[in-house]
Homo-oligomer: A and B are copies of this chain.
């Protein structure tokens, strides 16, 4: 159920009427808190507020949107959790942008194991971004890209822990995705980082990284450099599929 505010859902039909009968007031379909979050977001966008600017105080928000302070506080709690505002007593709420950090926090949350479905979906996504994208990749890749990728790959050879190795592995794949020159795709890839790291770690030991992974990467780069579509697709696909071998649950 789409109980969240992730879907704008215009729904301009003014069927029900606001109880407060304030002229020009929006009709609320969702909860008061979710409505308020939308209002505050609008306040930020339409007011052109930037990082460092202040939001109105809780009391002012209560008055402006005709709502209780607890509702305001729950809305602010959402924005705080999103990493969009930072609140301190007396000084109030100032706008920040720590969303990327928050995205990573979500999965360092050890309380919940990442589900197998999420793993499967993410690997499918990667397959699209790294295998099926070969057309764009071949189109845009430069000699500098290849050189940098080789550079990153070399770091496998003198790495100590599996965690460090998985970081390098991720850097390699991120750099590859970056070749496409598409910021939206790159951002999405970065958001998936925590899960991708878990996949990489689960599948490999340090030895594996410095031998198998290293040579697979090399083969992938060779195919990329030669614009050998069949080879690239085959190598990259089996490279990604390797992440699944160590799944049992």
Are the CB atoms of B185 and A107 closer together than 8 Å?
no
Task: Please give the distance in Å from A67's CB to the nearest CB on chain B.
Answer: 15
Interface residue from B82, B122, B182 paired with A184 (Cβ < 8 Å) = B122
Q: Name the B residues within 8 Å of A191 (CB-CB).
A: 6, 103-104, 106-107
Q: Name the B residues within 8 Å of A82 (CB-CB).
A: 81, 105-106, 109
Interface residue from B84, B112, B121, B195 paired with A183 (Cβ < 8 Å) = B121
User: Interface residues of A: mostly helix, strand, loop or mixed?
Assistant: helix
Are the CB atoms of B107 and A187 closer together than 8 Å?
yes
Are the CB atoms of B97 and A115 closer together than 8 Å?
yes
Cβ of A144 < 8 Å from any Cβ of B?
Answer: no
With the chains together, A6 CA to B110 CA distance in Å?
A: 13
Interface residue from B7, B33, B190, B195 paired with A190 (Cβ < 8 Å) = B7
Are the CB atoms of B136 and A105 closer together than 8 Å?
no
Size bracket of the A interface: 35 or more
A1-41 near B? 1/0 per residue, CB < 8 Å: 11111111010000000000000000000000100000001
Cβ of A91 < 8 Å from any Cβ of B?
Answer: no
Are the CB atoms of B105 and A5 closer together than 8 Å?
yes
Cβ of A133 < 8 Å from any Cβ of B?
Answer: yes
Closest to A194 in B: B8
In addition to A100-B192, A121-B184, A125-B184, 8 A-B residue pairs with Cβ atoms within 8 Å of each other are: A6-B191, A82-B106, A83-B106, A97-B112, A103-B191, A117-B183, A124-B136, A125-B182
Interface CB pairs A-B, < 8 A, 22: A2-B105, A2-B108, A5-B80, A6-B86, A7-B190, A41-B109, A41-B111, A44-B112, A45-B111, A45-B112, A51-B112, A51-B115, A74-B74, A74-B77, A97-B112, A103-B191, A104-B191, A107-B188, A121-B185, A124-B182, A132-B132, A188-B188
